[in-house]
Amino acid sequence: MREIEDDAVVLRTYKSGESDRVVVLWTREFGKVRVFAKGIRKVTSKLGGTLEALAYVRVQLVQTRGELYVARHVEHRERLTTLRTSYERINAGYAVVEVVDAIPSDDVADEGIFDLLTRVLLTLDDPSFDPSLVPASFFFRLLALDGSEPVVDQCVNCGREGPLVSFDAQVGGTLCASCRSGHTLSPEGLELIRRIVGGDLASVLRETSLPGAGEVMMIAQDSIEAHFGRRLRVARSTAPLTPRHDR
Ligand SMILES: [Zn+2]
C-alpha cells in the first residue's frame, strides 16, 4: 500500500453515496490526488472542516483500491480565515481552483502550479489585497508557466508597437488597428494588463476600482479557456458582464 505525506490544496469535493465524498487535492509532490472521505458528510466527521474546497492542508494518505486514497491524518497548514469570511474572496478562489482542476495531468506533479496556487490562497487571505483581479493574474501566471504568456508589448500579428487596440485570446496577444480581432482593448486595459503580466501585481492588487479591470478579467478568462480548449463554468460566472465587441 502506497502511503504519502504532503502539503495539498483542496480543489473540490463531490458526493459519493449517502454520507461520503471524494475530495480532489492538488499536492506539492504528487500532483492531483483523489481521496475517498468516508462519512465526511456526517456531523460527527473529524475530516469535515479540513477537507473542504480551498483548504490548504497537510495530509497523510494511504492508497486503497485503484486511484483512490483514504486520509489517515489531515491538518490545516493555513486557516485562511479572511478568505473564508468573504464571498468575493471565496468566489475568486473557486475560479482559480476550477482552472487547476481542469489541468489534464492526473498524478503528474507540478510544484510550480502548487506554489502558484498556495500564493493565490495567501493573497486572497490578505485583507490589504483586493481579490477581484487575483484570478486574472493567476491565469496569466499559469499560462506563463506553460510557455504561453500573452504578447502585450506589440501587435502579435505584425509586430507593430502601437497603437494596440484589441486583444485576441485565440492568437495570444494584443493587436494593432489593421490586424484587430477579439476584444476591444482600451488604453487603460492595455496599461493594466501590462502591469499584471510585467510583474507589478502586488501594487495592482492594492488598488481598487482600476480602470480597465473588467476588460482584463475577460481577456484572462478567454486566454485560459483558449488554452484548455473549453469553457469553464465557475470562472465564467464570476467574470463581469461586459458587452463583447468585434466578434
Ligand atoms: Zn498588426
Which pLDDT score, from 0 to 100, does residue 240 have? 41
Which pLDDT score, from 0 to 100, does residue 1 have? 75
What's the gap in Å between 180 CA and the centre of ligand 1? 7
Q: What is the mean pLDDT of residues 50-60?
A: 93
Q: What is the mean pLDDT of residues 70-98?
A: 94
What's the gap in Å between 61 CA and the centre of ligand 1? 53
pLDDT in tens, 94-123: 999 999 998 876 545 678 899 999 999 999
What's the gap in Å between 138 CA and the centre of ligand 1? 27
What's the gap in Å between 158 CA and the centre of ligand 1? 4
Question: pLDDT: is 193 or 237 the higher one?
Answer: 193
The SS3 of residue 180 is coil
Give the C-alpha distances (Å, rounded to integers) separating 160 from 25, 122, 181, 219: 44, 39, 15, 20
Which pLDDT score, from 0 to 100, does residue 247 have? 31
Mean pLDDT of the chain: 87
Write down all domains in the chain, each with its CATH number in brackets. 3-80 (2.40.50.140), 82-238 (1.20.1440.120)
Pairing outcome for strands 3-16 and 56-63: antiparallel
State the greatest distance between any 2 C-alpha atoms of the chain, in Å, as a whole number: 64
Please give the span between the terminal C-alpha atoms of the chain, in angstroms, as a whole number. Answer: 54
Instruction: Please give the Cα distance from 176 to 166 (Å, whole number).
Output: 7
What's the gap in Å between 177 CA and the centre of ligand 1? 7
| Percent above pLDDT 90 for the chain | 65
- Which chain residues have CB less than 5 Å from ligand 1, an ion? 155, 157-158, 160, 176, 179
φ/ψ of residue 194, rounded to 5: -65, -40
The SS3 of residue 20 is strand
Q: What residues pair up with 36 in beta bridges, in sequence order?
A: 22
Tallying the residues shown for the chain, one arrives at 247
Q: Is the pLDDT of residue 245 over 80?
A: no
